[in-house]
Amino acid sequence: MISPRTTERWAIQILESIHQMRFAEDSRVELKRAWPDSYSMARRLAGHGNAAGGSDILWLIGVDEKEGIVEIESGFPDLADEMPKVFKFFDGPSPSFVDRIVEFEKGRCIAIAVDTTFAPFVVRNPEHGKSKGHVIDFEIPWRSGSRIRSARRDEIIRLLATDFTSPDIEVLKASITSSAMAAGKMFCQLEIEFYIMPLSETRLELPLHRIQGALKPDISDDWFKIRDFNFRGLYSGELTTIGGSRQFRRSADEKFIVTSSGITVMAGTKGHVTAKLSIPEDTWHIANSFDVLFSFEAGRERIPFDLTCSIDKNAGAAP
């Protein structure tokens, strides 16, 4: 579960981005000028949590996408009183959360970080049986862009499949080293050795075009996109490059197969990823460690999971 300190840092980052006119509400962040009514909040919270794919989400109350912090007309609610009113509309588990009051010179807002681990979330319709036309009793809401609608069949399958098909992935060791400097940038080599274990007997298909990599130094909240990276089985010869030339040689055991279109994992096996990237020279010299994130979407249902670690420049990786 996300911590109060992380919640506050996340909120500050969003508010600073708004101030610099470079923020748009995204899939993990919801901005509200005022506190919604309990049912509307329950439905939006459930829809946001269902669509988040297990990631933490952040709600900022008293914040506008263009204006930043605005005064909450109804005043600051007491979450100890208000959240039970919201959660009473949930059928089954409701999400856990951490809240924080974030203070700025212009004012303050409420930051609510929400753990979506127990999705799918189901809400009941309070008008069912009371108003004509309200035939739906329970709903699985889904956030699509900025609107909330009922989840489609493929989205429900994705929700239910995540717990069963999302693999275990463990970083065994990792390193990042500098190789050359030019034009104020340090050119670096990233290497990660990992173990991946599918949790079902079905082979795990990972399309290459859905893999995204990013690196963040500990002195900044900015992520550097990793554009060119290679995957291969640790003890086999297959190799592919994203963003550059692509090659393929089939492995002997066929547990970890890389082609020009994707990765196939047949059973628990070791893998290896390398990447070359450039980082501003001053950032490289000041930073002590780097957070690394590779995001995957598996199969037709696009089941999300991540490979993450923090790499100390001197001591290697901390999964």
What's the CA gap between 197 and 168, in Å, rounded?
5
Q: What's the number of CA atoms in the CB half-sphere (13 Å) around residue 237?
A: 5
Q: Per-residue DSSP letters for 176-229?
A: EEEEEEETTEEEEEEEEEEEEE-SSSSPEEEEGGG-EEEEEETT-SPPEEE--E
Bond before 84 cis per omega within 30 degrees? no
Q: pLDDT in tens for each of the 319 residues of the chain?
A: 567 777 888 888 787 777 666 566 667 889 988 888 999 999 999 999 998 877 889 999 988 887 888 877 666 788 889 999 999 999 998 999 999 888 877 788 899 999 888 889 999 998 877 777 667 889 999 998 888 999 998 888 777 765 555 688 889 999 999 878 888 888 889 999 999 988 776 778 888 888 989 999 988 777 888 988 988 876 544 444 444 444 444 444 568 888 888 888 888 888 899 998 888 888 888 898 999 999 888 877 777 788 989 998 866 555 4
For residue 118, what are the CA distances in angstroms to 130, 156, 296? 30, 14, 20
Cα–Cα distances in angstroms (integers) from residue 264 to residues 148, 162, 203, 238, 254, in the given order: 34, 18, 7, 12, 9
pTM for the whole thing? 0.55
Quick check: 232 and 246 in contact, CB under 8 A?
no
Q: Check if the beta carbon of residue 98 is closer than 8 Å to that of residue 3.
A: yes
